[in-house]
Structure 1
Amino acid sequence: MDLCHPDPAELSSGETEELQRIKWHRKQLLEDIQPQLDSQSIVSARLILASESWGSRSVTWPRSSYGLMTTGLRSSLQAPGCRWVPRQAWGPRSSHRLQGKKLKDEIADVFAQIDCFETAEESRLAQKEKELCIGRKKFNMDPMKGIQYLIEHKLLTHNVQDIAQFLYKGEGLNKTAIGTYLGERDPLNLQVLQAFVDCHEFANLNLVQALRQFLWSFRLPGEAQKIDRMMETFATRYCLCNPGVFQSTDTCYVLSFSIIMLNTSLHNPNVRDRPPFERFVSMNRGINDGGDLPEEQLRNLFDSIKSEPFSIPEDDGNDLTHTFFNPDREGWLLKLGGRVKTWKRRWFILTDNCLYYFEFTTDKEPRGIIPLENLSVQKVDDPKKPFCLELYNPSCRGQKIKACKTDGEGKVVEGKHESYRISASSPEERDQWIEAIRASITRVPFYDLVSARKKKIANKH
């Protein structure tokens, strides 16, 4: 243990006083030695060595050490147990013994105090580490209780910055638990969220780079209101670090979600319909306070995501990012449609809260797009086809579902379906499609957030 440079924050007031007393005692011993060092030559000095064992320590100098050079000897003398005595002070053997015994006793007392202090300090640090380990485990099981435990045991303070730094460093912490804590609406949690986001330095990073850093530091929860607060705080911080990049935080907010959606579409291993750059541009028209973002800027963001998908923490699988970063579904199904109701084989792709269908897997453009917003899905029996499912609007039965398709001439026209009936090849496949569609529909709050923010931008003009 370095007694000369202890960390004051790690010591109690009693330990600090004890350490000061030990250091003072040690200083007095060295002051006794120093005048003799300055006044006597090396040749005219004699080293009295405390050669007995004191506790677990034994300091013994052989006669060969008497001839050390000044620098080495001065260093040796500053070790406990060594003392210069000038030739003039050499007296009777009994005087030597008394002087040696006194010095031995003084140094033994210092060593005993140091041993006691080190033992107490080691015990205190071991207890602190044990409590910190317990606190982390409690946090991972229940973030609110974990933080409370750490505060009660003086491992954290109520200071917002202290808690935010603890979460930002994240040592031993479950990142889903971090997201849970940051998503709470309690005043303290809201302040910690702000301080946590402020720990991130986004200056001179493009939006994709900033999102990579941000989304790696915790896991987004699944509730829309929590996502909204977190992404709003992120957008505000990014714009503060990079003034002039966007006209408003709303622009940054919407584009951030567009990038997350793009990541899913580009890196979904089961989806062959990779959105081209032009579609990404189209998705983000008018979001820059009514204007368009520079195409070069969008191109850089698009290329960054295309070349490297987001990496996300993998604690468990029940949150929004798990849905984003894992594939939906695609496959051949039969669809009932046309003026004369017939069953036609179509290649279906479920992604981005929409159900796309194609005539062939190699087609670049879909024959139809069915937005899943406000729709429900259920099993149905059909007299002509087995294993059917149906898409419908539960609140507007009898009305057309908002959808579009391409006609025989390739023009995009509004769909005319009040419901969509689809047949799978087996009951297992039907159930898997129903489950995947329902999972996609549950993401509607997320899409509602983006839609609401786009409307806010549009209403400014």
Structure 2
Amino acid sequence: MDALHVAVDNSRTTIKWYISLVPELENEIASVTADLESMDNDESSKTGSKSKQMNTGRKKFNMDPKKGIEYLIENELLKETPEDVAQFLYKGEGLNKTAIGDYLGEKKDFNIKVLEAFVERHEFKDMILVQALRQFLWSFRLPGEAQKIDRMMECFAKRYCETNPGVFESTDTCYVLSFSIIMLNTSLHNVSVKEKPSLERFISMNRGINEGRDLPDELLKSLYESIKKEPFKIPEDDGNDLTHTFFNPDREGWLMKQGGGRYKNWKRRWFILTDNCLYYFEYTTDKEPRGIIPLENLQIREMEDGKKPHCFELYAADGREIIKACKTDADGKVVEGKHNIYRMSASTAEEKEAWIKSITASISKDPFYDMLAARKKKASSNIKDS
């Protein structure tokens, strides 16, 4: 019986010991769980930050391809290799195809290597030439300069011949015929061209281009019929189309804007605030802004205006400098702005406060500019004191 009591006591002691460990285990589990959640949050934060940087990089690329690529490389979103940059351009997510063409057309060694790597990502095997051209010319927009087009089409011809050996005697044949097809597309489908080329004329134009020999009439006929039936789908010539720049803006809405002319007329404009810039449009459906106001080194303040309520204005940090901005004039030309202030009017006091808050958060101050302004102020006070 004593042995039984001892066993029971030992069991009770063991149970109490396990029970005593429960709070400690609970604390340890809670600590581990918190650590895991923290790691998840950190990873999520990093992912979100990288995604935001990538979107910024795309916007920068669409406005200035060179600076956009530099930004993505500096932030380790792209490797500084032709292959990595080419893959980014080939994927093309959120990228302006005119900007892609501009970047690929540059004569710098790195850009030429990117162009070569970009073309290598196209698979033309077993495609007839016109099909390959359709695919190639849809991946970017050909720039206007002849030298750039020459380099691009030369790379295309080389790639097509590599993936389809034996179709042409040389890459020169492919190059010449490709240009001939592009010209045919223009002649057949441009309304300003009155005299449309016939099949016979197209065949005649391409006599002897295959290393002195003729290409099969059946091949030229199939190319002609394909273009006649279906013109090339060329990316829209959007030039400075900033559509992708305005995804997920910091703020957007209607404001009245005071003009900078002699009579200071007020006009209703659609404003978009994004990436430290304020863009304004005549209509919400416009692709291109009427004006762009970079917010760097600007300040904002409320102000009273006798003609309009709920006003605020942007002004240069020292109050005297002309604000760096641009707009389109009546002829559609881009001209520099000549404002030292930009004055806007909101429809309500709440809307005015919201705009001021958003713009204040977006304004980027330049440390060098601050230092220079302080030095100017100090020099000015020294002159007065002397």
Q: Shorter-chain-normalised TM-score: which range? A: 0.5 to 0.7
Alignment-mate amino acid for residue 134 of structure 1: T
Which residue does the alignment assign to 2:29? 107
**How many angstroms does 1:301 deviate by?**
1.0
Which residue does the alignment assign to 1:132? 54
Alignment-mate amino acid for residue 147 of structure 1: I
Which residue of 221, 224, 240 maps to 2:143? 221
Which residue does the alignment assign to 1:212? 134
Which residue does the alignment assign to 1:202? 124
Which residue does the alignment assign to 1:289? 211
2-structure distance, mates of 1:229, 1:211:
15
Which residue does the alignment assign to 2:160? 238
Alignment of 1:132-151 (within 5 A): 132-151=54-73
Alignment of 1:262-281 (within 5 A): 262-271=184-193, 273-281=195-203
2-structure distance, mates of 1:90, 1:170:
70
1-structure distance, mates of 2:20, 2:131:
74
Which residue does the alignment assign to 2:41? 119
Alignment-mate amino acid for residue 155 of structure 2: T
1:223 to 1:165, Cα distance in 2 relative to 1, 3 A: same
2-structure distance, mates of 1:287, 1:309:
24
Alignment-mate amino acid for residue 32 of structure 2: V
Q: Is the 8 A contact 2:98 2:239 kept in 1?
A: no
2-structure distance, mates of 1:204, 1:98:
75
Which residue does the alignment assign to 2:111? 189
1-structure distance, mates of 2:11, 2:69:
65
1:280 to 1:89, Cα distance in 2 relative to 1, 3 A: farther
Q: Is the 8 A contact 1:219 1:312 kept in 2?
A: yes
1-structure distance, mates of 2:217, 2:205:
12
TM-score, normalised via structure 2 length? 0.57
2-structure distance, mates of 1:108, 1:315:
58
Which residue does the alignment assign to 1:59? none
**How many angstroms does 1:271 deviate by?**
4.5
Q: What per-residue deviation string (whole Å, max 9, x for no partner) do you get for residues 431-458 of structure 1?
A: xxxxxxxxxxxxxxxxxxxxxxxxxxxx
Q: Is the 8 A contact 2:170 2:210 kept in 1?
A: yes
Unaligned runs of 5+ in 2: 1-9, 241-386
Which residue of 194, 215, 224 maps to 1:302? 224
Residue identity (%): 64
Question: Is 1:255 matched with 2:177?
Answer: yes
Alignment of 1:26-425 (within 5 A): 94-271=16-193, 273-316=195-238
Q: Is the 8 A contact 2:187 2:197 kept in 1?
A: yes
1-structure distance, mates of 2:217, 2:20:
91
Alignment-mate amino acid for residue 213 of structure 1: Q
1:294 to 1:262, Cα distance in 2 relative to 1, 3 A: same
Which residue does the alignment assign to 2:340? none
1:106 to 1:89, Cα distance in 2 relative to 1, 3 A: farther
Q: Is the 8 A contact 1:90 1:96 kept in 2?
A: no
Alignment-mate amino acid for residue 161 of structure 1: E
Q: Which has the larger radius of gyration?
A: 1
**How many angstroms does 1:261 deviate by?**
1.1
**How many angstroms does 1:95 deviate by?**
3.2
2:165 aligned counterpart, secondary structure: coil
Q: Is the 8 A contact 2:105 2:148 kept in 1?
A: yes
Moved over 4 A (4+): 88-93
1:160 to 1:270, Cα distance in 2 relative to 1, 3 A: closer
TM-score, normalised via structure 1 length? 0.48
Q: Is the 8 A contact 1:174 1:315 kept in 2?
A: no
Q: How many residues are paired up?
A: 231
1-structure distance, mates of 2:106, 2:202:
33
Alignment-mate amino acid for residue 117 of structure 2: A
Unaligned runs of 5+ in 1: 1-87, 319-461
1-structure distance, mates of 2:59, 2:239:
19
Q: Is the 8 A contact 2:185 2:232 kept in 1?
A: yes
Alignment-mate amino acid for residue 306 of structure 1: K
Q: Is the 8 A contact 2:199 2:221 kept in 1?
A: yes
1:129 to 1:148, Cα distance in 2 relative to 1, 3 A: same
Alignment-mate amino acid for residue 135 of structure 1: G
2:127 aligned counterpart, secondary structure: coil
2-structure distance, mates of 1:298, 1:91:
96
Alignment-mate amino acid for residue 148 of structure 2: K
